[in-house]
Structure 1
Amino acid sequence: MPTDTQPSPVPQEIADRIGFARLTKRAFDGENLFPLWQSLMTKVDEGAASAGEQLDLALITQLFGHKQAGLSVQTETLAQHRLFRSPCASAPPKMRVLALAADIDMGGNTPIEFLLETSGIELLTLYVVDGVALPDPLPAHDLAIVIASDSDECRAALAAIAARAANWPAPLLNPPHLIGHLDRDKLYRLIGDVDGLDIPATVPVGRDALAAVAAGHATLQNAAGGVAFPIIVRPRGSHAGFGLARIADSVALAAYLDERAEADYFVARYVDYASDDGLFRKYRIVVVDGKPYACHMAIADRWDIWYLNAGMAQSEAKRLEEAAFFHTFDIGFGRRHRTALSGMIEGIGLDYFTIDCAQTPAGDLLVFEIDNTAVVHNMDSPELYPYKPPQMTKIFEAFAAMLERRVASRLQGVA
């Protein structure tokens, strides 16, 4: 039986890789990864590349913006090899975690490497590929966590994991049946009645139905289950703001559809969450083992706000406000929305997830998205954001501590 200081033996069929965290950080810092890409491509052409090198090549290709080409390399690699090891900060490792991933683009699995990079916990990633059974026995590990997302591309992987979940040989965190609740059109039904929470109904609507509304042949309320203009619309299955738009009326809807080709969309009512100063504030909260932590705060003069388009690096005033959000979270934002956060956390039930949210003028917590795969990192400049490293370290340590507690609890139960 493994302990927290004596991990189980590692099978030989594990491919080492540079990994998501290190490659993404190098790209984030502005390093030219093209020479590395060329070197890996040469190895592939010569038939000398390891499976880990091929997976790194797939990621670098995606980082260059060539998503489909990178996914093609990844899928070809996973057809031959599915178990990979990320760099570990200590030898021997404290314990071994098995992450269960899907064959999807780089944003479709939890970027768990960032959470464990300095922990001394060894990370193995097993890709669960459609049509290929999970290994039996499974690779030796002390704890497993599902990192595949709720997207359509991950359905088969989640189903395969769910079929083995009842007999999993170690603690299994973020079980697949709970990840499935994060679908946009399911989430509001799950937590919509939580006090202090505003989560607009997200309604799936086909293109033909929206086109009828745009042409004046049908009302939006009839097509979208009672939702009225103004609305937020996005292609079904999209993330990171792809195709997201605020639509005020049927004329704007017609213009939107003219620019898009997708067959299915999500529609939700638009909520104006601007503060008294006219600026919009969007928060990311990380939940680890039932406890919420501040992750970031973006401030901008636009409703469709993300951290990278908010101009935080260019505004000392915005950064000071974000620092205050971090420092006062437990006695400020967290306490103010304690009822809503507690209700959400209980309803979601996952061991680890993130909440993208805002505060409405009425004081409710407005939920945009709850996800298990959002990026939580410590890549930002410590000179520009000196308040971030301590907060990210706090989150990372909480995550590692949760894993260690779960393993210890399992061992005590078996003893």
Structure 2
Amino acid sequence: MQHPALSPIGTTASAQFAERIGFAQLTRQAFEGVDLHPLRDQLLARISEGTAQAGEGLDLSLIAQLLGEKQAGLAIQAEVLTFHRLFRSPCAVEKPRLRVLALAAAIDMGGNTPIEFLLEDTDIELLTLYVIDGVGLPEQLPDHDVAIVVASDSEECREALAVIERAAPRWPRPLLNRPNLIANLDRDKLYRLISGIAGLDIPATVGATRAQLTDLSHGRIECAEIVGELRYPMIVRPRGTHAGVGLAKIDDAGALAAYLAEREEQEFFVARFVDYVSPDGLYRKYRLAMVDGKPYACHMAIADRWDIWYLNANMAFNVEKRAEEAVFMLDFDHAFAARHKSALDEMSRRVGLDYFIVDCAENQQGELLVFEADNTAVVHNMDSPAVFPYKPPQMRKIFAAFTAMLSRRAEAGARSAS
């Protein structure tokens, strides 16, 4: 039942949660090449027998998605969430010192902050409450010390974010990553939010319809009629996509016409292309975690192509690239973060979130070139320590910063309540 408009929100220790294997463990198994089919079949058998628990159903949904069966996984998730919405992830200790409530949306596996990776092997208990369209929040929330919104800025999460935002002023505990701030992270909104920061470059990213781009490809309109700074070459991607899906560099009108002929989407984002190639002919793209206003290095991808993400950079197969990434992480506070301190500080202030991720580079003028910011990008410690020995200490540093932030906010909330 959704909250009445003016009713107070209470908490109760008696809320019933369902135990699950969880996102971190199952994703790690898939990442390491473990065959998940036997576990999937086992869970399917339990469902057929009528003995499966809600947490097992949610695990089955994730397994299906990890096996490439996205629609089947989402159908299983939707069915599970009709009768149960509160789940407990594995905790490393029997008596946790802190209880965190994550507020999630019913979306695919990449649509919520993968917070389990940040809290794995800690003494913090994680409960995840799914906020369902048309249902809203329960009248009594599970007891917790601090809450964090993990739903993304995607269209599928809009209603969940709106429900949480309406309840936010009456939330009984500290509430991190407020929904109204998450809603600013969509590509066109982010540009409007952080443009004009000294030392920061972010191309104007605007929405364009298929009709507009068709007119542009036929010369019926000019680039500037979509947005003043737009020109060829430009970047085009379907609205709502991530991880390079549908991303293309368009050099001229003919290339744009060919691109549209291969796509079925009706809505796109366009932006001017920034050639951020380094003097050695390679491109370097960075992922930063912003935790309570402070930047931390997550990874550095190096490739001979502009459209980089970590996997297509083949970092695991190049010792020279890994050596450079290791130096990047080791010297980060005194090098990259110091060079861009003013820009990063102001960006963090404007974004306003307690935790978010930035994918960025440096342009040829040495400015911080921001590609995107979101609250759901994966920060993990799954890479092989034999291949990436410098990564586990860096990831533990990020995780420690995140858990310390949760503790500070919980303690501040307890003091204000008393």
TM-score, normalised to structure 2, is: 0.96
Q: Does 1:90 align with 2:93?
A: yes
Tell me whether 1:222 sits opposite 2:225 in the alignment. Answer: yes
Q: Give the Cα separation in 2 of the matches to 1:107 and 1:290.
A: 24
Matching residue of 1:272? 275
Shift of 1:327: 0.4
Name the structure 2 match of 1:383.
386
Give the corresponding residue for 2:139.
136
Q: Is the 8 A contact 1:204 1:224 kept in 2?
A: no
2:298 to 292, 295, 319: 295
The DSSP-based 3-state class of the residue aligned with 1:267 is strand
Per-residue deviation, 1:215: 2.0
Establish whether residue 258 from structure 1 lines up as the match of residue 251 from structure 2.
Answer: no
In the aligned structure 1, how far is the partner of 2:250 from the partner of 2:317? 30
Output aligned runs, 1:32-181, within 5 Å: 32-181=35-184
Q: Distance in 1 between matches of 2:14 and 2:22?
A: 19
Q: Report matched runs for 1:262-411 at 5 Å.
A: 262-411=265-414
Partner of residue 5, structure 1: none
SS in 1 for 2:401: helix
Deviations 1:82-122 (A, max 9, x none): 00000001110111100000000100000000000022100
Name the stretch that deviates more: 36-45 or 315-324. 36-45
Counterpart CA distance in 1 for 2:132 and 2:142 is 16
Considering only aligned residues, what root-mean-square deviation do their CA atoms show, in Å?
A: 1.1
Give the letter for the 2:264 counterpart. Answer: A
**Secondary structure at 1:376 match in 2:** coil
Structure 2 counterpart of 1:383, one-letter code: A
User: In the TM superposition, what is the alpha-carbon distance from 1:225 to its structure 2 partner?
Assistant: 4.6
Where does the alignment leave 5 or more consecutive residues of structure 1 unmatched?
1-7
Aligned residues: 408
Select 2:212's aligned residue among 209, 214, 223: 209
Aligned equivalent of 1:240, options 225, 235, 243: 243
Moved more, 92-101 or 39-48: 39-48
> What TM-score do you get using the length of structure 1 for normalisation?
0.97
Is the contact between residue 136 and residue 160 of structure 2 (CA under 8 Å) also seen in structure 1?
no
Residue identity in the other structure for 1:299: I
Report what 2:21 is aligned to. Answer: 18
CA distance in 1, matches of 2:172, 2:225: 49
Q: Tell me what 1:184 maps to.
A: 187
Q: Distance in 2 between matches of 1:172 and 1:9?
A: 17
Q: Deviations over 1:388-407 (max 9, x none)?
A: 00000000011001001111
Asked whether the equivalents of residues 30 and 66 of structure 2 are also in contact (C-alpha less than 8 Å), the reply is yes
**Secondary structure of the equivalent of 2:153?**
coil
Contact residue 203 and residue 225 of structure 1 kept, 8 A: no
Counterpart position of 1:4 = none
- Shift of residue 9 of structure 1? 7.1
CA deviations on 1:102-160 (whole Å, 9 max, x unpaired) are 00010000000000002210000000000002011111111100000000000000000
Residue identity (%): 62
User: Which ranges of structure 2 fall in alignment gaps of 5 or more residues?
Assistant: 1-10
Alignment partners' CA distance in 2, 1:50 and 1:414: 36
Distance in 1, Cα, partners of 2:13 & 2:287? 36
Rounded Cα–Cα distance in structure 2 between residues aligned with 1:133 and 1:225: 41
| 1:357-395 CA distance string (max 9 Å, x none) | 000110000000101000000000000000000000000
Instruction: Tell me if the contact between 2:164 and 2:179 (Cα under 8 Å) persists in the aligned partners.
Output: yes
- How far the C-alpha of 1:226 sits from its partner, in A, is 4.3
Q: Which amino acid aligns with 2:159?
A: A
Contact 2:229/2:272, CA 8 A, preserved across alignment: no
CA deviations 1:264-302 (Å, max 9, x no partner) are: 000000000000000000000101111111110000000
- The superposition leaves residues 289-348 of structure 1 with CA deviations (integer Å, 9 ceiling, x where unpaired) of 111111100000000000000010010000000000000001000001111111111111
Cα distance in 1 for residues equivalent to 2:360 and 2:135: 38
Answer whether contact 2:201 2:367 (CA < 8 A) is retained.
yes
Is the partner of 1:36 in helix, strand or coil? Answer: helix
User: Aligned with 2:361: secondary structure?
Assistant: strand
User: Are residues 17 and 143 of structure 1, via their aligned partners in 2, closer, same or farther at CA, if it must alter by over 3 Å?
Assistant: same
Residues 9-61 of structure 1: CA deviation (Å, up to 9, x unaligned): 74352100000000000111110010000111111222221110000000000
Deviations 1:155-201 (A, max 9, x none): 00000000100000000000000001101111111110111000011
Q: 1:3 — aligned with what? A: none
Separation in 2, partners of 1:100, 1:414: 22
CA distance in structure 1 between the aligned counterparts of 2:96 and 2:403, rounded to whole angstroms: 12
The 2-side partners of 1:265 and 1:182 are apart by: 16
Letter in 1 for 2:180: H
